Amino acid sequence: MWKREESSDTKTSVSKNGEVLDSAPENIVDKVSDQRNRGLVNREVINIGKSVIVTGELTGSEDLTIEGQVEGKIELNQNILTIGPNGKISADIFAKSVVVMGKVKGDITATEKIHLRENGFVDGDLSAPRVAIAEGAHFRGSIDMQRKDAPVQEKKQLTRPPAPSSPAAQVVK
């Protein structure tokens, strides 16, 4: 019989005193340290599981990941909303940043960025300074990438110029 070797893709965390704290797969440790370097570890993320159905208005002050169903309105003005692959949303969304991997039917407004991933589906309008749509994503609607600080330009109306009032300026045939 052969003996299975221990997987070499684990890292062990050691405290300053030399105590072994834990061991975790290498990719998890690398991901956490990468997030810590970018300042993302201290953010609180709330999850709505795939068996949860929410109807009505959903507001909050933490980052949110939705794997379940939401109908109504989602408002996370200063936070990140992630719609997981199992998420089914039928709501208008307002957030700082939105990542879509599931299905959304409704308008999405973000103050920073909207990212539609490769299997994501959106049937509605997108409004954000930055919008990314991956190859393979499904999108039906319009995109407004107007920055908040940019001046709003009025649409030019297609009208005839006014007829000249003096007879000398008129063309006679």
Of the candidates 46, 49, 54, the residue with the CA atom closest to the CA atom of residue 73: 54
Return the amino acid letter for 146. Answer: Q
- 170 within domain boundaries: no
- 155 within domain boundaries: no
- 13 within domain boundaries: no
Q: Assign 29 a pLDDT band (cuts: 50, 70, 90).
A: very low
- 171 within domain boundaries: no
99-124: per-residue pLDDT in tens?
Answer: 999 999 999 999 999 999 999 999 99
**In the prediction, which pLDDT does 24 show?**
41
Of the candidates 111, 103, 151, the residue with the CA atom closest to the CA atom of residue 127: 111
The pTM for the full model equals 0.63
Q: Whole-number mean pLDDT of the chain?
A: 77
**Domain carrying residue 97:** 46-144
Strand residue runs (E) in 19-68: 20-25, 45-48, 53-59, 63-66
- 164 within domain boundaries: no
- 134 within domain boundaries: yes
For β-strands 10-14 and 130-133, DSSP reports them as unpaired
- 70 within domain boundaries: yes
Return the amino acid letter for 135. Answer: E
Q: Assign 10 a pLDDT band (cuts: 50, 70, 90).
A: very low
- 151 within domain boundaries: no
Quick count: other Cβ atoms within 10 Å of Cβ 64?
21
- Domains of the chain: total: 1
